Amino acid sequence: MHIMRIKLIMLGFLISSKLFSQGSWEMVSPQPTINNLFDVCFVSEQKGWIVGANGTIISTNNSGESWEWEYQDNSKYFESVFFIDENEGWVVGWDDILHTEDGGETWEEQDLPAYSALEAVYFIDSNTGWVAGHPGSVFKTINGGEDWTQVLNAGNKWLSDIVFTDLQHGVAIGSYNSTNGAYTTITEDGGETWENTSPLGQESLNAIEFISVDTAFVCGNGQKIIKTTDGGHTWETISNFYSSKSDIHFFNSKHGIILASNSAYITDDGGTNWNSVPTQYGSSLNAFSFVGPIGYAVGFNGGMIKSPDYGETWENTGSPQFTSIEDLYFSDTLNGWAKQISSSKLSRTFDGGVSWESVDIGSPEILGGLCFTTMEIGYAVGAHHKLFKTEDGGENWVSTDLGIEGANINSIYFIDELRGFICGSYGLFYATNDGGNSWDDIGQLGYLYYTDIYFSDENNGWIISYQGKTYHTTDGGNIWEESSLNGISGLDDIFFLDNEKGFITSLEGLILMTEDAGISWVEVGSFIESANRAKLSFANNSEGWLIASTKLYYTIDGGFTWHYHSHQGYMTDISFQSPTSGTITGSYSLVLKYDNMVTSLNIPHESKLEILPNPASNYFSVSLKGLDLHASKINIYDIHGRLYKSVNIKGDKNKLNIDIHTLPKGLYFVVLETRDNRFVAKLIKQ
């Protein structure tokens, strides 16, 4: 999420800038989201909606060329979306039903009489519809969702899809629990009564497609694809091939397509034989929607792909995917390098990390570390025994065999153009004094797995090990003195602000600080949970940021206290190019850019926002003193500047109701952003 750095003036009262003294991170890739996406619904070639985790609802009016956010709430988890036309639709999830009558400009919540983790929604017309989910529940409405009645309670079943061919005849499918045993049930009286018609010997079922009032195809997690020709009373196996199948669609009785993990399968003989087609996406796909020959599929990590030809070919309609990268090095705010994880390739950026291109340095060896000393001179090390060097900004690379066997190299660090170090497993620690032409074994400091090296100047440096031991040099790396962290292991990253004050992260979930050059260390923070990666960097002496796998943390007091900021997808590295420019990278094209906007904002002299009621418990309405909320966005921040909720305003409205029932009790700031100004008001959640 994007947290604006702002100074707040409201009702003539100046809010201290210290409340918002850290900058913000904006996700620039992938677009529009990296959230896991679970369902898609298109009602025409141009108009469609996608839903997913963190309360994601996005829509397009131009065949996926661009997407707009309609709804976002991190406390919600949406599984299915269904529109009967371009205006009216429903979204369901974990005990949530949302309804719109204006194409998604506004959404209202609808209530169920009992809890259900909803997986599917289907409407025959604007009044009559059904939702289904866990535990074994089907609910029906006959007034557009204003009221819902439970018509099936099948116990500990997991219903994944529901379809009706008319007002009376419908089929719900799923499993006897979350993973095993196919379950099908049919109704012939609109859902008032149900008959169990489960086929034997099947695994869990995920999706059903009717091509006539009697004929339907079903796919699931097992090897079999099953079919009914009598409305679901009986089922037959029509083909076998191993794959976990998430969705199915038939264009006619012969031509169909199945979505299976990161591939699609096409049949031209009614489902007997299937041919695989690549989808150009490296993560699991969950659902698709076709309008004629044009199809859209969505999946994990913001995956969005499009087919123009009945699923024969696919291309990305969201951001292009690239391999996860780490070891960020920037020569300035625009030009940078990174190492692709578990790859023999590098990545390069010319726009500050917004986009990256792959660079092949001419070797199949997996790379273990990367370092640049100038814009022209850079080094990469193979995980086993090779050194790669460029002296022309990466246009050409020359390799040298280091002659190191039996250990993995995972880090390289240069103090200047001549003096550098490499380290790795089994106590591997080498130094060079001639720009990497020759390397000397420093000797066994310890039979350890070294993870990172850092120098604060040409003399003072530190090396850390996974086992919890650290070594410090004051003479440029000739002599190293050992210190121990008293049993703290999993050390991952080290960073020093000067020769005395520095930080170490541990994958066990700790942040350690020293103010005496590493003689002693104290715990100053902890992660919400342990991490696979824990990297930190500072924008200045006061403001620092830390990534811990999917969690982002910050400090604004020089590292003495750390605060949770947000969940951002799986992050791999962080780097500041200047006090006002930083980059975070991660898996599946994740790129976050740092922005410090304090000098460029227009500060309003008086708030024109009206909030009622205030204090508020579950909802409040906001208006701009009689003015229309035209082309605006409302953000809700806590007193630390963390964004809790963001609502886009479409169309001209003079009043808007906002749901805050999931916000913790406390003081918040409601910030209305228009094209020209920002308006702020205080909100008390009780």
Same domain, 242 and 349: no
User: CATH code at 405?
Assistant: 2.130.10.10
Q: Answer with the one of 472, 501, 520 that is the final residue of a domain.
A: 520
Spatial separation of the C-alpha atoms in residues 680 and 686, rounded to whole Å: 19
Phi, psi dihedral angles at 19 (to 5 degrees): -65, -25
Same domain, 265 and 410: no
| pLDDT for 682 | 79
**Peptide linkage before 664 cis (omega within 30 of 0):** no
- Tens of pLDDT, residue by residue over 209-255, are 999 999 999 998 877 899 999 999 999 999 887 677 889 999 999 99
DSSP assignments along 591-659, one per residue: EEEEE--TTTPPPPSS---EEESSSBSSEEEEEBTTB--TTEEEEEEETTS-EEEEEEE-S--S-EEEE
**Digit-coded pLDDT (tens) for 21-35:** 457 788 888 888 889
> Looking at residue 603, what is its pLDDT?
36
Same domain flag for 217 and 279: yes
Q: Is residue 137 part of a domain?
A: yes
Q: Is residue 580 part of a domain?
A: no
Same structural domain, 289 and 343: no
pLDDT at residue number 9: 26
Cβ contact 54:74 at 8 Å: yes
Strand partners, 10: 13
Residues 132 and 74 placed together within one structural domain of the fold: yes
Indicate whether 566 belongs to any domain.
Answer: no
Q: Are residues 360 and 277 in the same domain?
A: no
Residues 226 and 121 in one domain: yes
Helix, strand or coil, per DSSP, at residue 54: coil
Secondary structure E strands in 282-352: 285-291, 294-299, 304-307, 315-316, 325-330, 336-340, 345-349
- Report yes or no on 587 lying in a domain: no
My answer on whether 303 and 363 are in the same domain is no
Residue 538 lies in a domain: no
pLDDT given for residue 251 in this prediction = 95
> What residues are paired with 571 via a beta bridge?
586
Same-domain pairing of 229 and 166: yes
Token digits for 622?
Answer: 């906001």
Coil, strand or helix at 302: helix
**Does any domain span residue 124?**
yes
Determine, yes or no, domain membership for 450: yes
Q: Final residue of a domain: which of 498, 520, 542?
A: 520
For residue 193, what are the β-bridge partners?
none
Its domain, for residue 636, covers 8-22+606-685
Q: Are residues 129 and 104 located together in one domain of the fold?
A: yes
Q: Domain tally for the chain?
A: 3
Pairing of strands 357-360, 461-465: unpaired
Q: Is residue 291 located within the same domain as residue 330?
A: no
For residue 263, being part of any structural domain is answered with yes
The segments of the chain whose pLDDT lies below 50 read: 1-21, 597-606
The predicted structure's pLDDT at residue 31: 83
Domain CATH code at residue 673: 2.60.40.3080
DSSP letters for 165-189: SSSS-EEEEEESSSSSSEEEEEESS
* Same domain (yes/no): 57, 83: yes
Answer with the one of 316, 349, 367 that is the final residue of a domain: 316
Beta-strand pair 336-340/325-330: antiparallel
